[in-house]
Amino acid sequence: MNAIRRALVTGISGQDGALLAARLLAAGGEVVGTHRPGGDAAGWRLRELGLAGHARLRMAALDPRDRDACARLVAAVQPDAVFHCAGQSRVADSFRDPLGSADANGTSTLNLLEAVRAHAPAAHLVLAASAEIFGAPATAPQDESTPLAARTPYGLSKLHAHAAVGTWRASYGLRASSAILFNHESELRDEAFVTRKLSRAVARIALGRAADVALGNLDARRDFGYAPDYVAAMVAMAARAEPGDYVLATGVAASIRDFATAAFAAAGIALDWTGDGLAEVGLERGSGAARVRVDAAFFRPVDAPLLVGDAGKARRDLGFTPSVDLAGLARRMVEADLARERAAST
Ligand SMILES: C[C@H]1O[C@H](OP(=O)(O)OP(=O)(O)OC[C@H]2O[C@@H](n3cnc4c(=O)[nH]c(N)nc43)[C@H](O)[C@@H]2O)[C@@H](O)[C@@H](O)C1=O
């Protein structure tokens, strides 16, 4: 294991980028974090983590789709690890702009691999890849040997990036690794994703500021882990001399209905799922207190019924251990949103 002295983190204002920065800085390293040109450099996550203005954190504007800009930045920073988290992370949005996802996730990875190859060839690049590269897999749980068969434009863009990492490793001997991340959530998750959408809605409902929440497919089953565990594993990947690909997942599948139940329970609201079809979500029917509505606008043309990972390799090589279960995850997220909501009203 090598200590990471200077890391380049693309997408520092996102959930994973901010959590990576926190971990790397706490270990005594330097971090150069990239943000979108013209965007809020620090961002609310770095502020919530108390990292804005940190002495060992530098910010740099970067559009990773710009090949020359990637080369210039890697040459200037001379990192010993590159964590590539920037990109388009919303599966739902990728159906509306497939080429945008391809550029943001695929092209950007090629640009960074080339920048590292030319200007920092000893650096270890770790890609934030995704379980969406498996598409709608025929077998469960999925591991590093599961066939790659992306079915969404987002999944395809991450498959391109993931395959590029393996290609640069094989073709050029680059230390490049892919973290095949299953859904990983935290208090810092974007509200576009279902867990945070729910935790915020539950907080607002519990405080009487909203009546209900509209969701899409409640039957999809996903493997929801706690994001800080996943970034810790990514740091462990970068610290290893040997590059490789790792599934990061809890191994436990939960439906969106399960997560909703846990999130409402965290605020002391018991959901009563009865009936079938759309009426099924008329919770507490008769009491006039339906909390969850199904809205066709939130369904996707393709939505894998079940994604659940086997992180055995990460457990063995990296000591990866998921630390938070579904109820604990929902509780942390709802408590954070209750605190934010209360603070907003004062
Ligand atoms: C591994 C993967 O993980 C994440 O992508 P995601 O799985 O699409 O995450 P999500 O929270 O948007 O959807 C999870 C499930 O929840 C269903 N769902 C129901 N109702 C709503 C709803 O109202 N909103 C949303 N967003 N989803 C809904 C939706 O149909 C899907 O089945 C990203 O980190 C991504 O970057 C990544 O790589």
The domain spans of the chain are: 6-187+225-251+307-323, 194-219+255-305+330-344
- pLDDT of amino acid 274: 61
Fold match flag (6-187+225-251+307-323 vs 194-219+255-305+330-344):
no
| Token pair for 205 | 């409902």
Amino acid, res. 119: H
Note if the bond before 141 is cis, omega within 30 degrees: yes
**Angle at alpha carbon of residue 330, lines to 326 and 333, rounded to 5°:** 140
Helix (H) or strand (E) holding 57: strand 57-61
Which class would CATH give 6-187+225-251+307-323? alpha beta
The catalytic site residues sit at: 132, 154
- pLDDT of amino acid 223: 98
Amino acid, res. 318: L
Amino acid, res. 177: S
Taking a C-beta distance cutoff of 8 angstroms, is the pair 212, 292 a contact? yes
Whole-prediction pTM: 0.96
| Token pair for 88 | 């388009």
Q: What is the rounded CA–CA span in Å between residue 296 and residue 219? A: 14
- pLDDT of amino acid 289: 53
Whose alpha carbon is nearest atom 27 of ligand 1? 194
In CATH terms, the fold of domain 194-219+255-305+330-344 is UDP-galactose 4-epimerase; domain 1 (3.90.25)
Q: What is the rounded CA–CA span in Å between residue 235 and residue 241? A: 12
- pLDDT of amino acid 271: 80
Helix (H) or strand (E) holding 113: helix 108-119
- pLDDT of amino acid 287: 44
- φ/ψ of residue 281, rounded to 5: -90, 10
Ligand 1 centroid to 221 CA: how many Å?
10
On whether ipTM exceeds 0.85, the answer is yes
Q: Averaged in consecutive runs of 10 residues, what is the pLDDT profile of the chain (346 residues)?
A: 90 97 98 91 91 96 98 98 98 98 98 98 98 97 98 98 98 98 98 98 94 93 98 98 98 96 92 52 46 91 98 98 98 98 86
DSSP-based helix, strand, coil % in the chain, nearest 5: 45, 15, 40
Q: What is the rounded CA–CA span in Å between residue 171 and residue 192? A: 37
Whose alpha carbon is nearest atom 2 of ligand 1? 183
Best probe residue, ligand 1, of 196, 234, 256 (max atoms within 8 Å of C-beta): 256
Q: How far is CA 153 from CA 92, 161, 255, in A?
A: 9, 12, 23
**Between helices 194-206 and 326-344, what is the axis angle to 10°?**
50
| Ligand 1 residue neighbourhood (C-beta within 6 Å) | 89, 91-92, 130-132, 181-183, 192-194, 197, 215-217, 220, 222, 256, 298, 300, 303
Best probe residue, ligand 1, of 132, 191, 193 (max atoms within 8 Å of C-beta): 193
